[in-house]
């Protein structure tokens, strides 16, 4: 709780924004920058509207707005995350471009780009903060994959930011992920990958898996090219 208070008061530096993000208690802080950097550097052309699904602190919505997207709709199912994202968007002076709304997954309408960084591990969360790490039964990931094509404009693209930690821990296989893409009628248009800085805490029981971890930005679109 003391750390959470300090983070909210002082903010967490985000180099991609050249600014700080202030996480509220119960909202996962963007202390790992690799997933933010992927969204900040991925090739993006002709994107006027974007959705950020499961926005959390609002960091990815802010990155998209800073990159020039005129209209960003950020969503989250958790009221504490919605309040947090709105606070950060206001602090960054981006309220004219970014709207934050409370909903389960997608807002109404379609966008040129739909971004999602879901919880990376298919397991049961035990607290609101855990919900940013553990996705009960893979519900959010599967919901995003199954529904995103219906929320893309013609020629639009979905960016799924996902660690392979679940694969390394044998909680999900790469084949299962690719099968889900195919079942939803999604084609992989490309993938960027980055290796996170490994954990240095010897007490970290996941240290071995984290040492081999990769975080990917999957570029997805309808198989029919629509």
More confident call, 127 vs 149: 149
CATH architecture of 30-222: 3-Layer(aba) Sandwich (3.40)
User: 83-109 pLDDT, tens per residue?
Assistant: 999 999 999 999 999 999 999 999 999
Mean pLDDT in residue range 179-199: 90
Provide the pLDDT confidence category of residue 139 given band limits of 50, 70 and 90: confident
Distance CA 97, CA 152 (A): 19
pLDDT for residue 193 is more than 60? yes
Partners of 74 in the β-ladder:
52, 100
End-to-end CA distance of the chain: 47
DSSP state letter for 99: E
User: 59-73 pLDDT, tens per residue?
Assistant: 999 999 999 999 999
Q: Indicate whether this model's pTM tops 0.75.
A: yes
Share of the chain above pLDDT 70, in %: 85
DSSP string, 184-200: TTEEEEEEEEEPPPPP-
Mean pLDDT in residue range 183-209: 76
* Model pLDDT, residue 135: 73
* Model pLDDT, residue 165: 87
User: 149-186 pLDDT, tens per residue?
Assistant: 999 999 999 999 999 988 888 888 999 999 999 999 99
pLDDT for residue 203 is more than 60? no
**What is the SS3 assignment for 172?**
coil
pLDDT for residue 82 is more than 60? yes
Mean pLDDT in residue range 31-56: 94
* Model pLDDT, residue 205: 47
* Model pLDDT, residue 131: 62
Backbone angles phi, psi at 164, to 5 degrees: -95, 15
More confident call, 7 vs 182: 182
User: 14-36 pLDDT, tens per residue?
Assistant: 999 999 999 998 898 888 889 99
* Mean pLDDT score of the chain: 89
> CA distances (Å), 8 to each of 36, 93, 124, 216, in order?
19, 18, 26, 28
| Residue 155 token pair | 């020629």
């Amino acid at each position: 709780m003391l750390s959470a208070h300090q983070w909210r008061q002082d903010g967490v530096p985000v180099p991609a924004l050249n600014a700080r993000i202030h996480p509220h208690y119960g909202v996962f802080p963007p202390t790992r920058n690799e997933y933010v950097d992927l969204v900040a550097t991925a090739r993006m052309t002709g994107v006027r509207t974007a959705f950020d699904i499961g926005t959390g602190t609002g960091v990815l919505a802010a990155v998209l707005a800073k990159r020039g997207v005129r209209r960003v709709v950020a969503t989250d199912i958790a009221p504490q995350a919605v309040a947090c994202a709105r606070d950060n968007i206001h602090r960054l002076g981006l309220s004219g471009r970014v709207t934050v709304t409370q909903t389960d997954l997608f807002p109404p309408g379609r966008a040129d780009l739909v971004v999602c960084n879901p919880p990376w591990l298919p397991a049961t969360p035990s607290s609101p903060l855990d919900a940013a790490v553990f996705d009960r039964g893979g519900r959010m990931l599967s919901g995003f994959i199954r529904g995103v094509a219906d929320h893309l404009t013609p020629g639009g693209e979905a960016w799924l930011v996902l660690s392979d930690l679940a694969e390394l821990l044998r909680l999900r296989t790469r084949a299962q992920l690719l099968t889900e893409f195919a079942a939803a009628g999604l084609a992989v248009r490309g993938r960027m990958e980055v290796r996170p800085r490994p954990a240095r805490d010897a007490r970290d029981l996941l240290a071995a898996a984290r040492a081999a971890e990769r975080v990917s930005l999957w570029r997805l679109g309808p198989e029919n090219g629509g």
